[in-house]
């Protein structure tokens, strides 16, 4: 959906809890191809993190379509990995490597599985006849990974 001046105005109000400084926001519409691009711009700004503080540390379901996989994964927007996954920018080259080499029926070990992104993508590539063995030593990551694996693996 196209971004108009009203979309930008409401993004300021909703995400930054303020009005734009001046009427120049109306000239920003060509900067955004769609509302997703507008959300990305706002939610990656330093002001968004400053305004939302602890509230920005919530888990959301991020779409995996940017990685060429259907499904979603729980991510924490307050850390760089979660935000990168939500934006579809996290470790793209490594994921392309997996997509180039994993085939149905293959098995893979995911050491340092973190939140489970690679495990979920690998599971979709190896299919029901393959195996994915994720391991994560950090308990903080294990809880997020467990939640994601229950929904996918």
pLDDT for residue 121 is more than 60: yes
Q: Which domains does the chain have, with CATH numbers?
A: 5-55 (no CATH), 59-152 (3.40.50.150)
Where does the pLDDT of residue 126 fall: very low under 50, low under 70, confident under 90, or very high at 90 and above?
very high
Q: Output phi, psi for 110, to 5 deg.
A: -105, 90
- pLDDT for 12-33, tens place per residue? 988 888 999 988 888 888 888 8
Q: In the 3-class helix/strand/coil scheme, how is 61-123 assigned residue by residue?
A: EEECHHHCCCCEEEEECCCHHHHHHHHCCCCHHHHHHHHHHCCCCCEEEEECCCCCHHHHHHH
Query: In the numeric block, which tokens belong to residue 8?
Result: 């930008």
* Residues counted in the chain: 153
Please enumerate in sequence order all residues whose Cβ is within 8 A of that of 146, keeping only pairs 6 or more positions apart, or say none: none
- pLDDT for 73-119, tens place per residue? 888 877 778 888 988 999 999 999 999 999 999 999 999 888 889 99
Q: Are the C-beta atoms of 5 and 29 separated by less than 8 Å? A: yes
Judging by beta carbons within 10 Å of its beta carbon (0-12, 13-18, 19+), is residue 18 exposed, middle or buried?
A: exposed
Q: Mean pLDDT score of the chain, rounded to an integer?
A: 83
Q: What is the pLDDT of residue 41?
A: 86
């Amino acid at each position: 959906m196209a971004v108009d001046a009203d979309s930008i105005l409401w993004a300021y109000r909703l995400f930054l809890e303020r009005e734009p400084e001046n009427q120049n926001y109306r000239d920003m519409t060509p900067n955004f191809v769609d509302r997703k691009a507008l959300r990305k711009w706002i939610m990656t700004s330093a002001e968004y993190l400053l305004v939302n503080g602890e509230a920005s540390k919530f888990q959301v379901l991020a779409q995996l379509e940017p990685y060429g996989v259907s499904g979603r994964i729980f991510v924490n927007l307050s850390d760089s990995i979660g935000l990168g996954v939500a934006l579809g920018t996290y470790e793209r080259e490594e994921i392309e490597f997996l997509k180039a080499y994993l085939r149905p029926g293959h098995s893979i070990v995911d050491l340092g599985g973190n939140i489970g992104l690679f495990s979920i993508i690998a599971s979709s590539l190896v299919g029901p006849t393959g195996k994915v063995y994720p391991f994560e030593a950090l308990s903080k990551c294990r809880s997020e990974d467990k939640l994601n694996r229950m929904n996918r693996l």
